[in-house]
Amino acid sequence: MDKMPKWADVVLIPVISLILAAILSALVILGIGEDPVEAVNLMVTGALGSTYGWGYTLYYATNFMFTGLAVAVAFHARLFNIGGEGQAMLGGLGVAMVCLYVPWPHWSLALLGACAGAMIFGAAWAAIPAYLQAKRGSHIVITTIMFNFIAAAVLNYMLVNVMRPEGSMDPASERFPEAVHLPTLHELLAPIGISFSKAAPANISLLVAMLACVVVWALIWRTKLGYEIRAYGHSETGALYAGISPVKITMIAMLISGALAGLMATNNVMGEAERLVLNSTEGAGFIGIAVALMGRSHPFGVFLAAILFGFLYQGGAELALWTSIPRELIVVIQALVILFTGALDNMVRTPLEKMFLAMRKGKA
Amino acid sequence: MDFLTIIQVLDSTVRLATPLLLACLAGLYSERAGIFDIGLEGKMLMAAFFSAAVAAVSGSVWLGLLAGIASSLVLSGLHGLASITFRGNQLISGVAINFLAAGMTVLIAQDWFKQGGRTPSLFAGGRFEPINFPFAEALSGVPILGPIYSELLSGHSILVYLAFLAVPGTWWVLYRTRFGLRLRAVGENPAAVDTAGVSVVGLRYAAVAICGVLCGIAGAYLATALQAGFVKDMTAGRGFIALAALIFAKWRPWQAMWACLLFGLLQAIALRFQNIDLGGVVIPVQVMDALPYILTVVILAGFVGKAIPPRAGGEPYVKER
């Protein structure tokens, strides 16, 4: 018998964790001499009060959906992929190559090409740690961390020595041609009569991210492969007994994870910057960890958590603009969310389980 | 490349290896006791900030060091709480600690000093000064041995010597004391330790606390000896290089020292010569940056001797009932 009803596990625990994180964040804001209520007001108006705010919130959310899904898929196979950051960086490299070196006639084809490039590069970057985990038992957490640093060095090298246009001091690639410009939400919504901010970077890759959520959901819960991934995640020996190959599942789960992380580049590199710059990922790969934990590794949960973190990011930028609270407040909130939903999960869970058990005994 | 250049590169190798070594030994205690710690980076960063902040305000570098150790210990306590008491995921806890430190240091720095997330520069008294060995000045003229004595061995801050003394110290604690035996046992087979009537929880907390103290010293060294003050994200991945060194050394103290010196040398070379020209083949600086990580992956892959972590590492211990 389950200790807790399912809704408590899915909804109550993340919500309580979030409230705990929010209370501590409020204390931090109080501690540096600002008013938490005022801060929340500013964040809400800044991130959700205008289509400009929404445009940024959704832009960040798109990044976090991809990286959150990447971490979530790996979690299902009980693999902890900290390498989303590096995989997204390499995805950016893939997107930049596809956009710069292929003459695309139309953005829609370019988007398909960029998706393929991003997925291949992201998956390739995840493939080596996956292979080492599957075949040689090297701990995937350590190897993916190392690969993040190696990815940063690779990107640095490519931008400084290979892709930088002649005469430019800036370590960045050339601007992508006009033909691969992805339509922003403004351009998408204007024909159907909805006016959306022109300046905001949210673009069509938001739809790609939402599609990815649906595809991942179908993959994990509606296919044989998804069943095998979950079975392997629940019990390696059980899966082995059922004839599921650990090597195959580890490889496939990590390749999918890396491809999803890589896909993020369609948003930040192709959709927003329209060229490849250093540190284009801005830590989104790591936020994916918080998003996946918060969303309980379910694509719909990831979708909601990504929007929440998109709101926090845009709200945090507004706070930094109007108050003396630096942007790093968001990093603290992110840390607290990871702490409560991930590491201190049992602290929240155990008392709740006891409470539900007591209630059930009371009824019976 | 003349002899003096080599001495200078080795000298900066020692300086750059020191924080790595302290953090690496910190991780060694924790991981040998079965608690994975990828939060070394965060603890160092927190300690770097608080040591610089307190040293700047009080003017005493020793108070700064204490504050650094204390702040690192707080994060260690959090890691212990999450991974020992509540049996949470140690890796996730480490990730959270890294972010907590990255965010809190800038937040508090901005609130206290209003200098864009840094502390004021530290002057005399607020920094660890180099210690000059006796006759260092007089002997520097002696060929070969003179520069080695006066440049390479003499003239470092006390924390450098402390870090290198901690290597035999750690070896002795780990392999020659009862505490060390139990510490290693709790990382391999906690159930056996428990059966022998020794507290698994107590031992693991002790290991995590030692880890906190060493990370605290490492952070304080960064901000008050290697540099003069705290700047945002000043650890710059050193916690992860230390982790890499720990794996490279296969969780053993002497080897940890050599690994840290090797990685320190790579940093020193990258700092001094941007791109290296080896007879026509140019090695770009990015290769030097990435080399510690690449070497670690190669070691982890088991192509050059397999690195096997402590058996109970990462597993919370659940007492049988």
Q: Which residues of B touch A80 (CB under 8 A)?
A: 89, 91-92
pLDDT tens string B95-111: 899 999 999 999 999 88
Residue A242: inside a domain:
yes
Nearest residue in B to A346, CA atom: B86
Q: Tell me the shortest Cα–Cα distance from B235 to chain A, in angstroms.
A: 14
Beta bridge partners of B278: B281
Mutation for B interface: A71, A140, A142, most B CBs within 10 A: A142
B220, B66 in Cβ contact below 8 A?
no
In this prediction the pTM is 0.89
Q: If residue B283 lies in a helix (H) or strand (E), which one and from where to where?
A: strand B281-283
Whole-angstrom distance, CA of residue B285 vs CA of residue B11: 20
Q: What angle do CA A118, A119, A125 make, to 5 degrees?
A: 90
pLDDT tens string B116-131: 778 888 777 778 888 8
Residue A44: inside a domain:
no
Dihedral angle of Cα B44, B48, B54, B58, to the nearest 10 degrees = 130
Residue A163: inside a domain:
yes
Residues 6+ apart with CB under 8 A from A332: A25, A28, B99, B100, B103, B104, B107
Check residue B304 and give its pLDDT.
Answer: 62
Whole-angstrom distance, CA of residue A349 vs CA of residue A326: 33
Coil, helix or strand at residue A172: strand
Check residue A1 and give its pLDDT.
Answer: 45
Check residue A231 and give its pLDDT.
Answer: 93
Domain total of chain A: 1
CB contact under 8 A, A142 and B107: no
Inter-axis angle of helices A284-294 and A246-265, nearest 10:
120
Q: What angle do CA A7, A8, A14 make, to 5 degrees?
A: 105
Q: Tell me the shortest Cα–Cα distance from A330 to chain B, in angstroms.
A: 8
Q: What angle do CA A112, A61, A118 make, to 5 degrees?
A: 30
Environment class of A169 (CB within 10 Å of its CB; exposed 0-12, middle 13-18, buried 19+): exposed
Check residue B42 and give its pLDDT.
Answer: 95
Q: Which residues of A touch B287 (CB under 8 A)?
A: 153, 157
CB contact under 8 A, B243 and A145: yes
pLDDT tens string B13-72: 999 999 999 999 999 999 999 999 999 999 999 999 999 999 999 888 899 999 999 999
Check residue A273 and give its pLDDT.
Answer: 86
Q: The domain spanning residue B39 has which CATH number?
A: 1.10.3470
Residue B21: inside a domain:
yes
pLDDT tens string A1-15: 466 788 877 888 888
Residue A46: inside a domain:
no
Identify which of B107, B289, B294 has the shortest CB distance to residue A328: B107
A318, B69 in Cβ contact below 8 A?
no
Residue B316: inside a domain:
no
Residue B320: inside a domain:
no
Q: Tell me the shortest Cα–Cα distance from A105 to chain B, in angstroms.
A: 36
Residue A330: inside a domain:
no
Q: Tell me the shortest Cα–Cα distance from A252 to chain B, in angstroms.
A: 19
CB contact under 8 A, A145 and B300: no
Identify which of A138, A149, A293 has the shortest CB distance to residue B301: A138
Identify which of A156, A332, A335 has the shortest CB distance to residue B286: A156
Average pLDDT of chain B is 88
Residue A70: inside a domain:
yes
Residue A319: inside a domain:
no
Structure tokens at A162: 């290979």
Q: Which residues of B touch A146 (CB under 8 A)?
A: 240, 244, 293-294, 296-297, 300
- Name the pLDDT band for B233 (thresholds 50, 70, 90): confident
Nearest residue in B to A29, CA atom: B107
Residue A364: inside a domain:
no
Residue B278 confidence (pLDDT) above 80: no
CB contact under 8 A, A136 and B86: no
CB contact under 8 A, B96 and A28: no
Q: Tell me the shortest Cα–Cα distance from B103 to chain A, in angstroms.
A: 5
- Name the pLDDT band for B275 (thresholds 50, 70, 90): low
Whole-angstrom distance, CA of residue A273 vs CA of residue A294: 28
B115, B109 in Cβ contact below 8 A?
yes
CB contact under 8 A, B110 and A347: no
Determine the structural domain holding residue A65 and report its residue range: 61-295
Identify which of B110, B289, B309 has the shortest CB distance to residue A153: B289
The residue assigned the tokens 């924080």 is B19
Mutation for B interface: A75, A131, A133, A332, most B CBs within 10 A: A332
Q: Which amino acid is at B261?
A: L
Q: Which residues of chain A are modeled with pLDDT < 50?
A: 1
CB contact under 8 A, A153 and B296: no
Whole-angstrom distance, CA of residue B185 vs CA of residue B145: 44
Whole-angstrom distance, CA of residue A319 vs CA of residue B136: 54
A54, A200 in Cβ contact below 8 A?
yes
Inter-axis angle of helices A328-338 and A284-294, nearest 10:
40
A184 conformational bin, left if phi > 0, alpha if psi -120 to 50, beta if neither: beta
Environment class of B165 (CB within 10 Å of its CB; exposed 0-12, middle 13-18, buried 19+): exposed
Residue B309: inside a domain:
no
- Name the pLDDT band for B210 (thresholds 50, 70, 90): very high
Whole-angstrom distance, CA of residue B23 vs CA of residue B15: 14
Q: What angle do CA B155, B161, B166 make, to 5 degrees?
A: 170
Domain total of chain B: 1
Count of C-beta atoms within a 10 Å radius of residue B250: 15
Whole-angstrom distance, CA of residue A258 vs CA of residue A263: 9
CB contact under 8 A, B297 and A80: no
Q: What angle do CA A330, A333, A339 make, to 5 degrees?
A: 140
Q: Tell me the shortest Cα–Cα distance from A173 to chain B, in angstroms.
A: 17
Determine the structural domain holding residue B92 and report its residue range: 3-301
Q: What is the mean pLDDT of residues B180-202?
A: 91
Structure tokens at B222: 């960064």
Residue B279: inside a domain:
yes
Structure tokens at B205: 């907390």
- Name the pLDDT band for B317 (thresholds 50, 70, 90): confident
- Rounded alpha-carbon distances, angstroms, from residue B235 to A173, B39, B149, B226, B232: 28, 12, 29, 11, 9
User: Taking CB atoms and an 8 Å cut-off, how many pairs form between chains A and B?
Assistant: 154
Q: Which residues of A touch B41 (CB under 8 A)?
A: none
Single out the residue of B321, B96, B240 nearest to residue A86, CA to CA. Answer: B240
The residue assigned the tokens 């602290």 is A347
Q: Which residues of B touch A343 (CB under 8 A)?
A: 82-83, 86, 88-90, 92-93, 96
pLDDT tens string A80-127: 999 999 999 999 999 999 999 989 899 999 999 999 999 999 999 999
Rg for chain B (alpha carbons), in Å?
Answer: 20
A342, B89 in Cβ contact below 8 A?
yes
Single out the residue of B31, B29, B35 nearest to residue B88, CA to CA. Answer: B35
Written as one string, the DSSP assignment of A24-42 is HHHHHHHHTT--HHHHHHH
